[in-house]
Amino acid sequence: MLEAFDNFRYIWDTLDIILVALGIYYLLRIIEKTRAVHMLVGLAFIFVIFVISSYGELYTLNWILNIFLGSIIIVAVILFQNDIRRALAMVGRNPFFLSAVGRKSEESVIEEIVKATSFMANKKIGALIAIEKDLSLVPFIEIGMRIDAWVSRELIISVFNPSSPMHDGGMIIGRNKVLSTGSFFPLATDLDLERELGTRHRAALGLSNETDAIVVVVSEETGTISLAYQGNLLRGFDATTLESRLMELLKLKRGQSHDYNLLTRLFDIKKQREEKPLT
């Protein structure tokens, strides 16, 4: 029995390498765009200092770092407890990180946002919608009400309906889904801001100052559509100009869409390499 197992040792070794590689890949996917990345860089820096202190005979520093790194598992659990909890929940929802059903294209998501925004502007329904880009909005998602639903104008309008219990706060859209509603964003406190700007506009500016999110605001008083990005507030959009601006900021082209499963990512990487011009 053991001899038969040893005959296929190379198969098991290959499977072992593949599983470890996939584990590292999914771990990096989970922590990307979060503060955990900066913590990992900090731990790597401490390890480098530890190695230097070993070769440089810095005994006291080496002793302190040796004690610290000796408890690295406990330290990692403390530092990354939120990320570990989120990772376990993600694995529970989708063990293989593969999409079982198709996702909406980013272009169709933008169309739904624009249609809902235009409707709410005509009816003077206040709204605050944050679109996640590269930096994760997980800290703001966690303090809101998680939804994880497909983006549709009906859903957006129903959430911001004044009679809805979820109309206060902001909606966060990311990965082509509505991730949360009722999220509260940091308020901009710049004294130079116009006095007529309400809480929604200040929240949009505050979030755009701290993250790279694109925030759409509908004024409840005037029905004006505004857009906050990188600490700047642009006002007076209509459906056409809003859609064009969102497509531009998200770097999308007509007919372009992205998915987030493993196979699509691998094909996208291969396609980018094939299309890369020779220098």
Domains of the chain plus CATH, in order, are 2-93 (no CATH), 106-249 (3.40.1700.10)
Beta strand extents in 177-266 (DSSP E only): 177-183, 214-218, 225-229, 232-237
* pLDDT of 97: 52
* pLDDT of 215: 96
* pLDDT of 276: 41
* pLDDT of 116: 96
* pLDDT of 256: 54
Whole-angstrom Cα distance, residue 196 to residue 14?
Answer: 64
* pLDDT of 178: 93
| pTM above threshold 0.85 | no
**Residues sharing a CB contact under 8 Å with residue 43, sequence separation 6 or more, in sequence order:** 72, 76
pLDDT in tens, 3-15: 555 666 778 888 8
Stretches in the chain below the pLDDT threshold 70? 1-8, 30-36, 82-83, 86-104, 191-196, 254-279
String of b and e for 231-258 (b: at least 16 CB within 10 Å)?
eebeeebeeeebbebbbeeeebeeeeee
Q: Among residues 245, 247, 250, 209, which one has the least CA distance to residue 225? A: 245
